[in-house]
Structure 1
Amino acid sequence: MASISRRTVSGKPRYDVNYREPDGRKRRKTFLKRVDADAFARTIETDKLRGTYLDLDAGRESFGAYAERWITHTSRDPQTLAIRERILRLHIAPAIGDVELRKVTGSTLRGLISSLEVADKYAADIFGLVSSILTAAVDDKLIPTNPAKDASVRRQKPRAPRRKIQPWPDEWIDAMHTAIHDRYKVTITLAAGLGLRQGEVFGLAIEDVDMLRGVVRVKRQVKMVGKTLVFAPPKARKDGDAPREIPLPADVRAELAAHLSTYPAQAVTLPWREPDGKPTTVHLITTTRNDQAIRRTSYNETVWSTARKHAGLTIGGEIETGMHGLRHWYASSLLAGGASAVEVSAYLGHSDVAFTLRTYGHLMPSSESRAREAIEAAFERSRTAGNAAAPDGSLHQRYIGGV
């Protein structure tokens, strides 16, 4: 328990609070007034009992120094690290980098928000990074609470505009498939028929396709780290995670077989995750004319843009005209066909179903229609069962008829 002792300094009383931290270290804090010493002693003991005790020296580190250390240890993805470091250097550090963690308040963050002169989505990303750093500081027992969660800050925090996904018209799929170079037709089919992200299409290997079971396992993507192509786990997946499995439709399987008969899978070696990562070799289904892994920028600027122009797809409207639009079409087709949000989330490789619902919920069949159809089907089963139990249908008919 904390104890209070009185002593005199230059003829004036001083009150020392002597206590131990949770780890047993002895500490002392001096007050001019006994009432302040008593309050501090009570607070110390209460915080220790509740598990909310903070070191008196905690939070003296600058926000910028802590943020740099946090960023370095939060992701192994070089691209993610580069993005976070850039946001910290350009937008966060100039505003609050020199502020001690314990002195970052709601007012500090409201000032940061008002100083951001960037697009709403980018501003939301900046604020999200600040909030994540402060949450980590709370977990590290450096500050008691995260001021980014204060009510006044939440009301002012930037939010990315939410745009409802508009799936491609069905004819766009055929138009792009017709317009694109023969070597890359299968990229359309893999993206639209399996819902793969662009990097996952480029990273799909023949070893990942189980023709007999009709299943595709998504194990990797091709991505750029700086100017270097690497293999990496799919988005939101870690090394060692089980690959997600996607049903292989008959049409996709047939086109895949036809593609491989003309353009056989090629052994391609790329480093894993980072430019100096472990060399990894797989037999890629889609490659360049030089039998190399496809570089996203080259594909988009030449193959995709040329095909889009020939197909007559309008740029600048409400519909996503990049390759990701094929993934949206896949999701919307599944939902229209009655697949559950849980199934769609699993096939798309989303980290949680809530994200799938936020993104595609408006494309799901009307809940009113589903409820109406479900109850009508239940009544039909009831009538069938009732007529079978009572040939004259008397009791059943009186109930259904409201008699």
Structure 2
Amino acid sequence: MAGYIEDRWLNKRPDPATGKGDRYKVAGIPGVRARTFQTLDDAKAWLAKASSQAREGEFVDPRRGLITLSEYIDKYWLPGKPQRGKNRKNINERLNHIRPQLGALPLRDVTAAVLRKFIVHLEETVAGSYGNSICSTLASILDTAVEDKRITSNSARSKSVVFPSKKVKEKREAWAPEVVRAVLEAINPRHRIAVVLGAGCGLRQGEVFGLSAADIDFKDAQIHVHRQIQLDGNTMLYKLPKGEKTRVVPMPASVAAELRRHMREYAPLLIELPWGEADAEKTQQHALVLTNAAGNANNFKNWNVRTWKPALVAASLIPKPEPGARRGAFTESRKDGFHVLRHTYASVTLREEEDIVTLSHWLGHETPTITLEHYAHFMPQSGAKGAAAVNALLAPPTAAKTPLVLKLPQHSPALIWKQYPDKEPAARRHTKVGRSEPPPSWLGPSQVPRAENHLPKAS
């Protein structure tokens, strides 16, 4: 077995001031740094373990795991990830949830117990699907640390560590018509058209910002969704819509009227932006329908703080910031983000019994399954048939129905013997069946024969 144990006290005594000092030194193992121990048993155990792992190529020096999680992310993990674009933006947003809770811990202290507690925190603060994405990013970081021989195993892959479920999704909520009208009245008139396009055509925020005059077909009452505006860092750029899917959506007459009015008051402006990436050489120019007062394309961050949130405050949907609060310190509310207009569009469309496949195309979803998962609860009578079936199952038994009794017309005795001419009295055989006439002299009112008295007897 490679390596040896050295008794350091033969040459070096404990520190006279403290009386402390590790006595035994383990060294000589190829690829393994020397370590010292206070007891011989600890030194022997370490020598055996380190030698075995060194032979199998699995040795990880515990001291390499002393680097903090945040330091490892910045120095070794992030440099291997995309440096630009939406992917980097998404990574940074997830790291903003990881760093405050775990960033100061050494890598080797990110144990399964720590992660279970972290997941409980996520489940209380973010949606299940987003929490799952955060945990997946953390697991990727720890996988890389294992490959770099910083830690021996990834605690995020332990059986006891269960990520938040992707399938647990927040129920989509739509605004009531009066709320939409309140926001339309409250928002800056220049930006009113954004609310109209979101609630009236289901466009995403970036698609509203990227809509050009050439995309609007007033003749066929259609809007062509060809692009969106996105942020790459602080740089705005044109990109294809989400999923790289262009589409055509119907334009209701009310939306067309609003667009005509808006374009008369605020003429479309030609805006040139990079295409696809912030540093792309290729650019495009489009006459944008919605621009800011300075004549530029709308920046998401500025628009949300300067236009959208103040409108929500004016419509009494969120509280006004406290006096002296920093600019933009509005109450965060996911359910009242711009995307709620898209949910509202889906709700009013489904309540008018539009089919789910058509709506999926209008919204630009990848498959109708996504539309159904998000918006099935907006469908008319959703769940009513199931509730009715359960009510029938659990309802108390009802009393047996009374058999129907045949009631014969009192003044048409001929009907009784129609099927049995041989039983008909001779005096009545000349009467036409079905005629309503007074009873004959031979039949008093109290002597109307009953049907059961004149049926042939069973032989």
Write the deviation string for residues 162-216 of structure 1: whole angstroms up to 9, x where unpaired: 4322211111112221222221111111111111111211111112222222222
* Alignment partners' CA distance in 2, 1:286 and 1:207: 13
Question: Where is the strand percentage greater, Structure 1 or Structure 2?
Answer: 1
Partner of 1:286: 290
Residue type of the alignment partner of 2:214:
E
Report if the CA contact (8 A) 2:86-2:232 is conserved: no
CA pair 280-126 structure 1, distance change in 2 beyond 3 A: same
Partner of 2:433: none
* Alignment partners' CA distance in 1, 2:137 and 2:355: 32
Report if the CA contact (8 A) 2:209-2:229 is conserved: yes
CA pair 179-76 structure 1, distance change in 2 beyond 3 A: closer
* Higher relative contact order, structure no. (Cα contacts within 8 Å, ≥ 6 residues apart): 1
Matched pairs, number = 301
User: Helix, strand or coil: the match of 2:336?
Assistant: coil
* Alignment partners' CA distance in 2, 1:168 and 1:212: 30
Partner of 1:270: 273
Partner of 1:251: 254
Write the deviation string for residues 58-93 of structure 1: whole angstroms up to 9, x where unpaired: 9x9x99899658744998744235446767877788
CA pair 368-98 structure 1, distance change in 2 beyond 3 A: closer
Unaligned runs of 5+ in 1: 1-55, 100-106, 137-145, 373-403
Write the deviation string for residues 307-334 of structure 1: whole angstroms up to 9, x where unpaired: 2233333558999333222111101111
> What root-mean-square deviation, in Å, do the aligned CA atoms of Structure 1 and Structure 2 show?
4.4
Query: Structure 1 residue aligned with 2:218, among 211, 216, 234?
Result: 211
Query: Structure 2 residue aligned with 1:80, among 90, 99, 103?
Result: 90
Report if the CA contact (8 A) 2:376-2:382 is conserved: no
Partner of 2:164: 158
- Confirm whether residue 112 of structure 1 aligns to residue 118 of structure 2: no
- Confirm whether residue 346 of structure 1 aligns to residue 350 of structure 2: no
Partner of 1:193: 200
Residue type of the alignment partner of 1:285:
V
CA pair 70-350 structure 1, distance change in 2 beyond 3 A: farther
Using the TM superposition, give the Cα deviation of residue 349 of structure 1 relative to its aligned residue in structure 2, in angstroms: 2.1
TM-score, structure 1 length as denominator? Answer: 0.60
Residue type of the alignment partner of 2:261:
A
Partner of 2:317: 313
Report if the CA contact (8 A) 1:200-1:234 is conserved: yes
Pair member with larger Rg: 2
Larger displacement relative to structure 2 (261-270 or 85-94): 85-94
Write the deviation string for residues 278-310 of structure 1: whole angstroms up to 9, x where unpaired: 322111000011211012222222222332233
- Could you tell me the percent identity over the aligned residues? 30
User: Helix, strand or coil: the match of 2:335?
Assistant: coil
* Alignment partners' CA distance in 2, 1:208 and 1:192: 18
Query: Structure 1 residue aligned with 2:306, among 302, 315, 318?
Result: 302
CA pair 245-95 structure 1, distance change in 2 beyond 3 A: farther
TM-score, structure 2 length as denominator? Answer: 0.53
Partner of 1:125: 133
Residue type of the alignment partner of 2:377:
H
Unaligned runs of 5+ in 2: 1-55, 66-71, 145-153, 320-330, 388-459
